[in-house]
């Protein structure tokens, strides 16, 4: 009889245990345990970035609590979404939540530097860059301008900043062979003091795009005889060539104008509204990054303003450089400012300084 009672009690116990496990226990478990994590879509503000060594870029996302990682920390590191270039190369920066992941392709290069004011850089030498390097520099320039804004004031400023502050060499000033001081018929000269194409003129392959060349062609940094100056020097850009190059790469079509050398309304200083320099200084009118600085036969572009200090990129004398002037001293060199508001239309991601 006792055995029967023990058996019945065992059956009842097993029945209660099964009931508890299958019916009651699930309601006692925390809801976040053993439940599969649902996937989320991670969206990032960049899918590819270019960085100079020691340059940083912040990546933002539509999600919070993201885990960041670099596939090669010798190339680039990441900390809370801020990517920093370490050495030349390529890698992926990954953003993940559970099983969801998004990636940013990172290209770190030593072909450019962080924006630096240095008018004593070495001059560009002939055939300095390979085809691969030339193409990468063109990609970098295009990337910078897209960030600033295509067909914007900021885009033109960024192009000018790129060639004067990030490109690690100075370009020689080259008074173009095809544009003489006298008015009248002017030869269209491509790649000699002026360059009518997007990108930088650094590799022999670029010659196939030239339209007319008088005495060349010769890529930037290579020797070319200049019929105006009666001497041979490294090819580069003249003043209007540099400004028109910056505008062209920003997405504009500035045409074939010089810098106030004729009475024709086809010159660079006819692109915007002329403001007398003394009036501009007095009223603080037109002193804005992206506006042009001009005098008869010469032109430059403002690339920085810090209080009363004005930074003007210009090709003149021996090289392409950045002229640093106090606002009150502008009239010692310049005749007027060219207000480019109607030319640019949009400011883009404009900053007063780099």
Q: What is the pLDDT along the chain (354 residues), one digit of tens a residue?
A: 556 566 556 656 666 666 556 655 454 444 443 344 457 899 999 999 999 999 999 999 999 889 999 999 999 999 999 999 999 999 999 999 988 999 999 999 999 999 999 999 999 999 999 999 999 999 999 999 999 999 999 999 999 999 999 999 999 999 987 764 443 455 568 899 999 999 999 999 999 988 878 888 899 999 999 888 899 999 999 999 999 999 999 999 988 888 875 555 568 888 999 999 999 998 889 999 999 999 988 999 999 999 999 999 999 999 999 999 999 999 999 999 999 999 999 999 999 999
Please report whether residue 23 resides in a domain.
no
pTM to 2 decimal places = 0.85
pLDDT score, position 118: 97
Same domain, yes or no: 98 and 161: no
Please report whether residue 116 resides in a domain.
no
Q: The domain containing residue 240 runs over which residues? A: 131-344
| C-alpha separations of 293 from 125, 159, 214, 282, 337 in Å | 29, 17, 29, 16, 5
Please report whether residue 37 resides in a domain.
no
What six digits make up the tokens of 340?
Answer: 């480019």
Same domain, yes or no: 103 and 162: no
207 C-beta neighbours (distance < 10 Å), count? 15
Nearest to 246 by CA among 150, 159, 350: 159
Same domain, yes or no: 328 and 226: yes
Same domain, yes or no: 165 and 287: yes
* DSSP state for residue 182 in the 8-state scheme: S
Number of domains in the chain: 2
Same domain, yes or no: 197 and 63: no
Please report whether residue 353 resides in a domain.
no
Please report whether residue 323 resides in a domain.
yes
Dihedral angle over CA of 187, 188, 189, 190, nearest 10 = -170
The CATH number given to whatever domain includes residue 52 is: 2.60.40.1080
Please report whether residue 3 resides in a domain.
no
- 177 contacts 191 by C-beta, under 8 angstroms: no
Please report whether residue 118 resides in a domain.
no
Same domain, yes or no: 213 and 327: yes
Please report whether residue 102 resides in a domain.
yes
Same domain, yes or no: 292 and 157: yes
Same domain, yes or no: 215 and 290: yes
Same domain, yes or no: 141 and 97: no
Same domain, yes or no: 177 and 58: no
Question: Please, what sign has the CA dihedral across residues 218, 120, 260, 252?
Answer: positive
Same domain, yes or no: 81 and 167: no
Same domain, yes or no: 96 and 136: no
Between CA 97 and CA 37 the distance in angstroms is: 10
Q: What is the distance between the terminal CA atoms of the chain, rounded to a whole angstrom?
A: 97
């Amino acid at each position: 009889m006792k055995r029967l009672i023990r058996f019945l009690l065992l059956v009842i116990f097993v029945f209660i245990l099964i009931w508890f496990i299958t019916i009651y226990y699930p309601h006692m478990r925390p809801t976040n345990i053993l439940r599969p994590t649902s996937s989320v879509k991670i969206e990032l503000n960049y899918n590819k970035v270019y960085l100079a060594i020691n340059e940083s870029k912040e990546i933002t996302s539509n999600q919070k609590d993201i885990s960041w990682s670099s596939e090669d920390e010798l190339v680039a590191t990441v900390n809370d979404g801020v990517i920093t270039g370490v050495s030349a190369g390529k890698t992926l920066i990954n953003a993940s939540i559970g099983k969801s992941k998004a990636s940013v392709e990172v290209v770190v290069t030593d072909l450019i530097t962080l924006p630096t004011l240095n008018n004593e850089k070495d001059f560009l030498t002939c055939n300095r860059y390979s085809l691969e390097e030339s193409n990468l520099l063109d990609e970098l320039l295009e990337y910078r301008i897209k960030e600033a804004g295509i067909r914007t004031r900021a885009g033109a400023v960024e192009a000018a900043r790129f060639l004067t502050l990030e490109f690690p060499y100075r370009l020689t000033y080259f008074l173009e062979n095809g544009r003489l001081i006298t008015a009248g018929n002017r030869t269209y000269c491509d790649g000699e003091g002026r360059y009518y194409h997007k990108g930088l003129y650094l590799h022999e392959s670029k010659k196939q795009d030239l339209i007319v060349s008088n005495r060349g062609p010769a890529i930037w940094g290579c020797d070319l005889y200049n019929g105006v100056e009666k001497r041979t020097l490294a090819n580069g850009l003249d003043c209007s060539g540099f400004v028109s190059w910056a505008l062209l790469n920003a997405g504009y079509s500035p045409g074939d104008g010089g810098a106030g050398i004729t009475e024709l309304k086809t010159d660079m200083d006819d692109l915007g509204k002329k403001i007398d320099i003394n009036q501009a200084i007095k009223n603080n009118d037109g002193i804005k990054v992206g506006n042009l600085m001009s005098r008869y036969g010469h032109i430059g572009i403002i690339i920085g303003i810090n209080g009363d200090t004005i930074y003007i990129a210009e090709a003149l004398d021996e090289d392409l450089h950045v002229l640093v002037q106090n606002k009150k001293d502008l009239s010692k060199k310049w005749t007027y400012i060219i207000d480019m508001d109607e030319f640019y239309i949009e400011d883009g991601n404009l900053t007063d300084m780099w």
